[in-house]
Structure formats: structure tokens, C-alpha cells
Chain A
Amino acid sequence: MTKRISKYQRFKMMNPIIQFFKFLYLSLKIMVIVAGGHGGTRRVN
């Protein structure tokens, strides 16, 4: 088995306090992408 994720990275990934802030950040970031909307791609002349 090749440990590709270091102990420190794993600590950050699983630490509930760090991850709580990450949760808020990700929720916001996803909302921004959703709120960014969608549309067509074809130009209407």
C-alpha cells in the first residue's frame, strides 16, 4: 500500500473543527456555482 495522503493532510481532512469551516466554505462555494445560473450556448442573431 502506498500512503499517498500524509498524516498531516489526513488530520486536516478529518479534523471536525477545520472541517466545520470547510463545510461552510463548500456550501457557499456550491451555492455560488448554482446561483451562477445556466443558459444557452447558441448565439441568437
Chain B
Amino acid sequence: MTTLPDARGHFGRFGGRFVPETLMAPLLELEKAYAAARRDRGFQQRLASLLADYAGRPTPLYFAARLTEHCGGARIWLKREDLCHTGAHKVNNVLGQALLAARMKKTRIIAETGAGQHGVATATAAALLGVPCEVYMGAEDIARQALNVFRMRLLGAKVIPVESGSKTLKDAVNEALRDWVTNVHTTYYLLGSALGPHPYPMMVRDFHTVIGKEARTQSRRAIGRVPDVVVACVGGGSNAIGLFHPFIEERRTRIVGVEPGGGGLASGKHGASMAAGAVGVLHGSMSYLLQNDDGQVAVAHSISAGLDYPGVGPEHAYYKDTGRFEFVSITDEEALEGFQALTRLEGIMPALESAHAVAHAMRLAKTLPRSKVMVVGLSGRGDKDVYVVAKALGMEIG
């Protein structure tokens, strides 16, 4: 399992490096630099101390007693990535890659962002390291995640609106890649999910496996064994692979990824690339992809900007095919219910992305006995989403 991906970045038939020739040498350079950093104790120590003292790790594994009682089934534990500095798991990967960028002596950092969480995390790390930062963000996402846009600006980053295509995450990735191909000598592309060309899916996964490693140790301590089920939402797949990866060889642990069902799979307006996609190539790797018969990439739909992506990381695609990971979907409406339930019952306001995982966990918990234990990846906090939630619930702010 730890042998994946292979030397060319393939997870079985998925992954790889489908990029313009101009980016091949930089990707090979990045792969080399990452391999060297991985072996470098100084690098690892710097990252570990930042994760502890700056990002606030380890994050708690919290038993959601009232939510459990409400569902009346399996016990639900939350892996509290929402308590990370900047409010989401994204910071784990960002700190790792930002240190790598510094090690590679890159003088400029660019990133794409959907919900703005990755953009905020990147702007934060750039401020910390004193490096100029530019973040590509779809115009539609800028409108629905205004709070995060302002946070990025306060942090000194430049937010560049992307007006092409669907004006969401997919187009922000395109634009970031166009920037990188142009400024390849000076610029580090800090990709925010477990997707893109090799080595990104592997590297982003590695930086996030701290989530699953902690959760494994914490659940051993709290319940004396590994959980029966782990659940996480899947946009590109970074928080999910971070939580899942350390459990892949734990055969008794069910692994469940939750995709955005939008208006329902039948509506055609969703982001469920596992449920409704076909194998294809987008943004440098082969994976499942929402597309039409002509190979044109479809526009995803989700109430949550961070899940609004027509593809999925290649490692998830691989484990879907082997059957090791299960994938389900949760609609916008169900996610809103999950959001409200967790807020009212536990006093924890989840990001709308994470609310998808919560909603599915609630559904699943009801079908399982109390002897079963579930760990849910609570990937981020919901402050950024209050406007969207207010609008969806027909409420007014203030």
C-alpha cells in the first residue's frame, strides 16, 4: 500500500502526469525536492513544530454524545480539523508545501481555491514566510465566500477572479496552471487537494495523513481499538485521503467517502464524480470525471464551494475500483440538515463541506448498533458559510 503511487505517479490506471511538456521538468524537480525534504530531519522537525505550535495539532478526537443520542445508533466521534489554525485541515498540506517552496528558493507562491479555505491557509503561510502570494478563485466562489476573500486580502494575498468556464474551482485550477506554465522559474504552485499531476496527489496525501495517524492513536486510547467506520467528505479528496490512508490496512475499518449530491443525482446538478463520472483526464491526472460523451468536462454543482469540482483525486479512484473505499452522496438539503443538527446538538458549526460527512454519518449511525464506533472527519468550521446557509434557509443576517 505504501508503494503507491509507482515511480511515474500511477495508482493502478489512475494518476500520472498529463501536463504540457513545459511543466514536466518542473514537476520532476518538485518530485526530487520533495523526496529530499522527506529524508531531511531538519525539514521534518520544522514542519512538526509548526503543526504543533502554529496550527494547533494534534486536533482532538471528540465524542459527540448528543449527536449520537439523537441518532440512536453507532457512537459518533469527530476528528476536529475545524480547530486547526485558519479553520480547516487545509493548513496541514499548506505548511508542508510552503516549507518546500522555501527550500526550493521559489520567490512567489500561487494557489487555487474553491471555498477559500485553501486560499486562506496559503495566504497565511505566505505571510508567515514573507513570500508574495496570489490566489486564483472562481468569480462565483468569490461571491459566495466573501468572508474568506477578505481574509486573504487582509493576509496580504492578491485574489485573482477567474471568469472563465463555470467560474468555480475547476477553472481556478486551469488558471493557476496557466500562471505556473508562464512563471515556472520563480513560482511555486501550492495545489490544495490530492489531485493534479504527480507528485501532488502523493505529496498532499502525505502532508494530511497526520489526520488519520492521530485519529488511529486517539481511538486506540479512547476506545481501545480502531473505529469500525471512518467517514469524510470528498471534494478533490485531501481531508478524506488524510484520514483514510492510515486505515487502509485495518481490514475491519469501513472507509466511506461522501460526495456532493447537489440537487440529487437524478437532477444532473451535483459533483458526484464517483457515482456518475467516467474515467478521464483533467488537471494532469487520470481519474473519475464528470463529463459528456464527447469528453467535455461537466460543470459540478454543490452548495459547498469546496466540493464543487467535477473530478476527484486519483488515489480515491484506485481504491473505489479495488472496493476498499465506498462512496456515497449527500444532497445540498441533507448537508444543510447535518449543518443544523451539529450546530444545535453539539454547538459545533461545521463547514458545509464537512456537513456532508456529518449528514452521512448520521444516516449511517442510525443503521448500526451502539457497539459500533464511527470517526467523522470534521474538515473545517462553518463561519465562512453563514451567508450561504442564511440564504438557503430563508433567513436574514442581522
Are the chains A and B members of one assembly?
Answer: no
